[in-house]
Amino acid sequence: MGRDTLSAMPPVNIRRAQPEDAPATGKICYEAFHKINSDHGFPPDLPSVEHAVNVMSTMFGHPGFYCVVAEEGGRIAGSNCMDERSPIAGIGPITVDPGVQNRGVGRKLMQAVMDRARERNFPGVRLVQAAFHTRSLSLYATLGFDAREPLSVMQGPAIKKRLEGCFVRPAGPEDLDACNRVSVKVHGHHRGGDLADSIAQGTAAVVERHGRITAYCSSLAFFGHAVGETNLDLQALIAAAEGFGGPGILVPTRNSELFRWCLANGLRVVEPMTLMTVGLYNEPAGAYLASILY
């Protein structure tokens, strides 16, 4: 698009998202992901407009998320969210109406949440990017994000096996501190805000070996994360799951042992993604599954 055409566009205004913005932003979110994925031959990340509206409405109404919308000429053109529930912030989903993409709205939505992260002194900010999407990759890289880890979204039938020596059970509020310690050991920071919500929702689980917690998951799903001292711990969680929510779990592809174990147990790769980070990042000292928020 030429400079003259761009200067003729109405100015873009960024403001805090309100719960009543969920229908318009949810529709854009569904359409933007549907288009980019189907253009590249991948299934949609979100199954329907209703589902996307629900995701938006949950995030917009949650005090632990900072969400913004972009308006162009009084019309909503896109939205972005940042998870502020834990010491490291996580960005997403960001989406711009396919009809107005590639003319600066996405950059403004990213700058708005990164400004907020700076004001709130988050030591690090992370996101997960669809690896086939050249535009988002370039946008995030120019904003300072480093590509850290290739991820494979994996889906398949429940494995329903118990692994020797590993006891998997639902997590309760009394497990939060022990789970946070596992995360600090592996990542250098905890993800207790996300985990506390998942415990309340009943999706979190822990692994006990020799009578102590060695791993946990907030959920085995696209929006869930897991951390374990070893691959065996994560395998126990994955093997015990009743199923994998959304498009699937996000397995670090360079963790060859875990990746091959998932393949050998019937999981298939749905799509490639990339974990990107700015600010504090420690190479994990253990095993983990990323969530779509990082």
Ligand X SMILES: CC(C)(COP(=O)(O)OP(=O)(O)OC[C@H]1O[C@@H](n2cnc3c(N)ncnc32)[C@H](O)[C@@H]1OP(=O)(O)O)[C@@H](O)C(=O)NCCC(=O)NCCS
| Site residues, ligand X (CB under 6 A) | 32-33, 36, 94-96, 101-107, 129-130, 133-136, 138-139, 142
Residue among 102 and 201 whose Cβ is closer to ligand X: 102
Residue among 133 and 209 whose Cβ is closer to ligand X: 133
Residue among 80 and 86 whose Cβ is closer to ligand X: 80
Q: How far apart are the first and last CA of the chain?
A: 33
Residue in the structure block whose two tokens are 């120019």: 142
Beta carbon of residue 127, minimum distance to ligand X (angstroms, whole number) = 7
Dist CA 104 CA 120 (whole Å): 25
Residue among 17 and 237 whose Cβ is closer to ligand X: 17
Task: Look at residue 247 and give its three-state secondary structure.
Answer: coil
Dist CA 177 CA 42 (whole Å): 39
Mutual angle of helices 49-60 and 22-39, in 10-degree steps = 130
Beta carbon of residue 109, minimum distance to ligand X (angstroms, whole number) = 7
Q: Residue 93: is the preceding peptide bond cis (ω within 30°)?
A: yes
Beta carbon of residue 179, minimum distance to ligand X (angstroms, whole number) = 27
Residue among 32 and 270 whose Cβ is closer to ligand X: 32
Beta carbon of residue 159, minimum distance to ligand X (angstroms, whole number) = 29
What phi and psi, each to the nearest 5 degrees, are found at residue 269? -80, 125
Beta carbon of residue 82, minimum distance to ligand X (angstroms, whole number) = 13
The closest alpha carbon to 164, from 222, 239, 53, 274, belongs to 239
